[in-house]
Each structure stands twice: as structure tokens, then as C-alpha cells.
A and B are shown apart, each in its own frame.
Chain A
Amino acid sequence: MSLQSFLSVFRRGTLFPFSPSFVELERAKFQHIPQTSPAIMAFKQILSRALRSRPDQILSSPSAFSAARAFSSAPITATLFPGDGIGPEIAESVKQCGYIQIFREAEVPIEWEEHYVGTEIDPRTQSFLTWESLESVRRNRVGLKGPMATPIGKGHRSLNLTLRKELNLYANVRPCYSLPGYKTRYDDVNLVTIRENTEGEYSGLEHQVVRGVVESLKIITRQASLRVAEYAFHYAKAHGRERVSAIHKANIMQKTDGLFLKCCREVAEKYPEITYEEVVIDNCCMMLVKNPALFDVLVMPNLYGDIISDLCAGLIGGLGLTPSCNIGEGGIALAEAVHGSAPDIAGKNLANPTALLLSGVSMLRHLELHDKADRIQKAVLETIAEGKYRTADLGGSSTTSDFTRAICDHL
């Protein structure tokens, strides 16, 4: 890197992007890094960045969203919840691909901290997830979750609800793109759905007014809508997306969806380079099934997001192929595979690890390890496109281990 660019980095570096943000301070607390003064920390970061010469990293601002760790050489620990049913097998494939990657690159290794769902209710969390598991996610900032079967019964919260509430996961991101080589009726899908995950129709506030009349409350707050809109535009910018569409039903629910739209408009003004539009949900449904190429990034409140993200998963081939990532306060990212735990094929080496692998890829993108993420994603897509090794649900007859080995060969 020339002296000019080094100086420009230095000049730019002393401004906002390198001020020790909330994320750094929090991390320092947990990882016992000696708290150096902000200036020295800034200088160290600038130096390591300049020497690594990653221009794209310099320009991105590590706001509370991205856990940009490329400048730290400490190994990244990530929490892994293998889950139930087919969970442990597909988690194994993720680990294998991760390690092979490590040996080749020898750069930033990922260490997986595995946590399993307990068999008894932990009184501190009121569910089967232990307090240690949650602490580990809070500490590591990233996690990967396999399918979990919620045991039926009363007296405890559902596992997904526990994770969402304890880690304050406010946005659910689902990138949906057609897998080349796996033919569905739709070939040109390339969109991302971002769904508000905490409030809306799913607040769970219902009551029976009189016998035979039930009321259910839908709550929209300015704070949550702003948060998810900010994340949506940040995501669009960070991933080079051009358009953000807000999906609503404000012609009928004028105040609630109207508030959501107002917040989206406010955030849109801060990102003039990204086109912003508003689409009524029934129009959106129809346009999605007729021509999915019309959409790019979709941001929606909770209920619409649930339905539209599952609709988009159906367009590309189902939940067994769709990655998903939950974003929490302070830059926490918990990627998860949204399909079920399939107890009938558990242990038989038949499961399809694609969803978990692609979720791991979105986790890597959140960590801004874009080149590694691209490599793994390319390997997965190539393996599926080739068609020689496909698991049973894609119409082939390979086992999980064969499929994994084929992907590792493609890396």
C-alpha cells in the first residue's frame, strides 16, 4: 500500500469508525483483553488494517451491527447448538468443512463451542436451555443452531422463544436465492427477507372478552420498527443490494402499519443511494408468485414476515435448503436452520446439511469474512449443481457424509 493511501487511512481512521464502540467495550469485558486507551487501540487497529490492506474493511463502519473482527487475530469462538434429531449429523458436516477450510487458509480459525439442549428445566431460564448456553452465545457474539424439537408439555417456555427473548433477537434475515442445478418452478429468485421478530401480531397478548369473543393485540412500536429498518438498510448497503421494499397493509391498518412505514421512510432518507418503495402485502404476494425477480430486499413486520419468508422458501425449494440468521442487540448473530428435526431419519446418515451450511455462510458474512463465506457457498452450490451427490430430499441417493466430502473436495 502506498504512503498516500496509508496516510488517508490514518486520517480517516482517527474519526468515528475507530472509536471504541459499545461492541468493543463489551467484548473487552468478557474476553479479558487489557483495556488500553482508545488512542492506542485505534492506532493498533489502523496499523493492522493497513498492513493487511483490506480496502473494503476500512470503509465499513463497525456500528452496533457488524462484529468486524478482521483486525483481531484472536480465534473466533462460535457457539454451536447441534439440536435434536438430524441436528448432530448435519452439525458434523459443518464442522468438517470448517476445519478443512482452516488448514488451507491458516488464518482466522473458528472454534466451535458445542452446547446441547438439557433434559431438565433450568430454573434460571425456565426452559431446557441452560444458562451456560445462553451466556456462551452472549460471550461469543455468534452462534449456529440446528433444528430443535420443542418437547410438548407445560410449565416451560418454547426453546425458540427463550432464545429470542434472552438474546433480544430482533431481526430475522433469510436470503433466498435459486440454487442452480436444483430446478424448481422459479429460476430467478434472488431476494432477502428481513422480518421484525419481537412484536407485531406475535406479542402473545390475547384474552377472552366474553364467552365467544376473543381479542388479540397487535403492537407496533417506533423503537422496534426503527431498529429493524436500520438493520435492513445497513444490510442492503453492506451486501450491495439496490432496493429495499417495505411490505405493509397500511390502507386497512392505518395507524399500526402507518407507524412502521413512517419509520422506514425516516431511515430511507439516510440512505439516498438505495431505492425505497412500499408495497401492499396482497400485491406483494401476487407479484412474488408471478415474478420474484421484481424484489430485492424486503423488510416487514412480524406476521407478514413469517408468511412471506416461508413463501420465498417455498419458491426456492423448501425449508431444507433455506439459510436463516437472527440478529440481536449488540451485534449478536445466531444463524439457524429452520427446518424440523426429522426424527424419522435421525442417525441414518441421510439428512441434507445444506440449510445448516448455508446458515453458517450467512454467519460468516455477518462476521465480514466474505471471501471464506463465498468459498463455502460456491462449493455447496457447485456440488448441488453437479448433481452427482445429492441427498434423498433433492432427488438423489447420497449419504450425508458423501455429500459433505463432495463439498470439501470443491473447496
Chain B
Amino acid sequence: MAKRSVPLLKQLLSSSSAASPSCSSRFTSHRSVTYMPRPGDGTPRAVTLIPGDGIGPLVTGAVEQVMEAMHAPVYFERYDVHGDMPKVPQEVIDSIKKNKVCLKGGLATPMGGGVSSLNVQLRKQLDLYASLVNCFNLPGLPTRHENVDIVVIRENTEGEYAGLEHEVVPGVVESLKVITKFCSERIAKYAFEYAYLNNRRKVTAVHKANIMKLADGLFLESCREVATKYPGIKYNEIIVDNCCMQLVSKPEQFDVMVTPNLYGNLVANTAAGIAGGTGVMPGGNVGADHAVFEQGASAGNVGNEKVTEQKKANPVALLLSSAMMLRHLQFPSFADRLETAVKGVISEGKHRTKDLGGSSTTQEVVDAVIAALD
């Protein structure tokens, strides 16, 4: 009888577990049991929130709603900054220095108007020297390219964005591109460290050193030096025009890409475009002391008037960036829950905004995400 009871017991147990009621949400997230918090880690953390211009207030509002629904231990200190201010107000900078973490929407730069971009100013003042965009295929979202999982790490403070321009004589304008060993080295170190900590296999440096031999040559030298310190990570170099060509034909070959400032902008937007658009890619800027999270790639982060009026902006990018922020603040299970809910809503396909091929409004997507939280 003992011989027959074991398989019977096994059958009973397996059928019971199959029939057991699943969790209340449709999507179950992975539990990370290994995270052991220190006593007192659960006190709510302050995070500076800058709604920004255009679609910014819409999408940051979406994040606030979701955070409340999750009862995440963060509370937001709101500051109003607009793109046409001459500089970022000192109180905002002080708040970010106190809180160390900030979430922001896009700030619109008036074109050709002598006002330098506030986004760039913020990054330079807080020395957020690394900008990170994670471009990956979302399950359930059809795109022309499959198997895309690229992280673009871009130097954020110097390069072509130094802002040093002058008119030599009327009709001739010069702009200085500055590359220093100090900045190139620290961005290369960050890229390899990121690859090491996130189990990435390959780092690719993007450059144009065949034409700009000294400037991009210095950047490459720094990358090569740092690469020797990480023998387990493969390193290669690619020229930026070939890189863009490869991105549209064979994006699977790229893993982590480290680039100077301007090329990083182009490569990040191209990579975001092939994997689903800038409306869904998370990213942020990080420095030694502070971190500012925003929509990953910069195209369309302010949106246009039509989208703002109709309230059809895509909140997915900022929601995924806020999940990155939660992990940065060491609340991994909240981050997991948020990510699972957002990815689930996208893969279902019922609530998608216009840039993903649907017709929902921002609020509908947010409600769907809140309903999907477990």
C-alpha cells in the first residue's frame, strides 16, 4: 500500500496546486527573497519631482498616482521649473542635493533663442556625468527588430555640448568640442562597472576617430585602458556611421555602448526607435552623488501640443524609469511589481497610447497599470 500511496499523494498534491486560486492580479512578479533590509529602511524617502513642460506634468502625475497606489515609501517634493527660465532655481538644486534623487519630465528649450538648455545645465551643475538609456523589446509590442537589448551610456557633460561658441567674423561661427581624459576615463569606468554589475558581456565604444583623430582618439585611449582592467568583458570599437547602419540592420550584436556626448544622443534615439520608440524606454542621469531619472532618450520628451491637449502622452517610459529609481533607492520588490505590471499592460495590448499603435489616453494606461499591480 505504501508503494501505491506515494504516486497517489503526488497526484493529489499536483492537482491541488493546479486548482489553487492564483494571485488576485493577472501578472505575478518574481519575488526576490534574498533582499534583506536594514531596520529603518522602510521610512519614506523624499524625492524631488520636476514636472517640466508639455507632456511632463501628465506623465509625472501618472507616476505619482501609481506610487500612491503601491504605497511605495517615497514622497515627492514638487518644484516648478520651465524651459524658458534663465537658469534652474537654486532651491531646486538644494532640494536635489539634499534628497540625492530626482524624477523629472522634459524641459522644453526655446529654439535659437540664446537661452541654453536647462536639461544640460542641470546635468552640468550636479555633475551627472553618465546618461543611461536601456532600449529593449517589450514583450507583446511588435517592432521591425527582434532581440534588441542595448544599454547606451553617454558622456553627459562635455564633448559637443560644451556650449562654447563664438562668431569669428560675420558669417563664420566656431563651436568648440572639448574632450578631456578625466571625463572620458570616468565614463569608461562607469560603463564597464555597469556591465560588470549587470552581467553584460560586451562593451562597444562608438567614435569617429578616423576623422577627429585627437579628440575621439583620446576618448578611445581611455576606453582601451579601462577595458584592460575588465578581462571578462569583451570590448570593441565601431565608427558612428557604421554603428547606425548596423543598428538598423543587425541590432542584436550590441550590448552596452559607451559614447561621447553627441553620438550618444543619436545612437540612443536610434536604438530607442528600433525597439519601440522613445515613449517606452527608461533611462536616467547619474553622477557620483546624485541621480536624476527621466524618460530615456530625449526625442519627444516634451511632446507636441496636440498630444498634451488630448492627454495622450505615453507614461510607460517614466513609469519604467521610476522603477529604476526605486531600485536605486533600494526598494527592489516595489520596482519588480511596477515593472511587471507595466510590461503586462503593454503585452496585453488593450491600453496603448498612439505612439504604440493604440488610442488610449494617459489616464487609461495608468488605471490599467494600477489594476495590474499585485
Q: A216-B214, A255-B165, A307-B266 are in contact. Are A283 and B300 (CB under 8 A)?
A: yes
A206-B212, A310-B242, A311-B244 known; A286 and B297 CB under 8 Å? yes
Instruction: Categorize the interface residue count of chain A.
Output: 35 or more
B265 to chain A: closest residue by CB: A282
B294 → A minimal CB distance (Å): 14
With known contacts A207-B214, A282-B298, A283-B299, A218–B274 Cβ distance under 8 A? no
A-B contact pairs, 18 of them (CB 8 A): A185-B248, A206-B213, A206-B214, A206-B215, A218-B177, A219-B174, A221-B171, A222-B170, A222-B172, A250-B112, A251-B110, A251-B117, A252-B160, A255-B166, A259-B171, A282-B297, A289-B274, A307-B263
Q: Is the interface of A mostly helix, strand, loop or mixed?
A: helix
Number of cross-chain contacts by CB at 8 Å: 176
How many residues of B are in contact with the other chain, CB < 8 A? 62
B240-274 interface (Cβ within 8 A of A) = 240-242, 244-249, 262-263, 265-266, 268-270, 272-274
Q: Out of A211, A221, A280, A286, which one reaches B277, CB within 8 Å?
A: A286
Q: Which residue of B lies closest to A310 (CB)?
A: B241
B268 surroundings in chain A (CB, below 8 A):
282
- The contact string, 1 if C-beta is below 8 Å from chain A, for chain B 178-193, is 1111100000000000
Interface residue? B9 (CB, 8 A):
no
**A106 to B32 alpha-carbon distance, docked (Å):** 79
A402 an interface residue at 8 Å Cβ cutoff?
A: no
CA distance A288 to B144 in the complex (A): 13
Q: Is the CB of B180 within 8 A of A318?
A: no
Cα–Cα, bound, A255→B277 (Å): 30
A3 beta carbon closer than 8 Å to chain B: no
Inter-chain contacts of B72 with A (CB < 8 A): none
Interface assignment of A20: CB less than 8 Å from any CB of chain B: no
Collect the chain B residues with CB atoms within 8 Å of residue A310's CB.
Answer: 241-242, 244-245
Chain B residue numbers with a CB within 8 Å of A219 are: 172-175
A residues within 8 A CB of B21? none
- B91 at the A interface (CB under 8 A): no
Q: For residue B242, which residues in chain A have a CB less than 8 angstroms away from its CB?
A: 310
Which residues in A have their C-beta under 8 angstroms from that of B214?
Answer: 206-208, 214, 216
Which residues of chain B are near A69, meaning CB under 8 Å?
A: none
Q: A282 touches which one: B114, B117, B180, B299 (CB < 8 A)?
A: B299
Nearest B residue to A279 via CB reads B299
Q: Is B272 touching A306 in the complex (CB atoms < 8 A)?
A: no
Q: Which residues of A contact B170 (CB under 8 A)?
A: 222
User: Are A311 and B245 in touch, CB under 8 angstroms?
Assistant: yes
0/1 per residue, A102-146, Cβ < 8 Å to B?
000000000000000000000000000000000000000000000
The list of the 5 closest CB pairs from A to B, nearest first, reads A314-B245, A212-B181, A222-B171, A289-B273, A310-B241
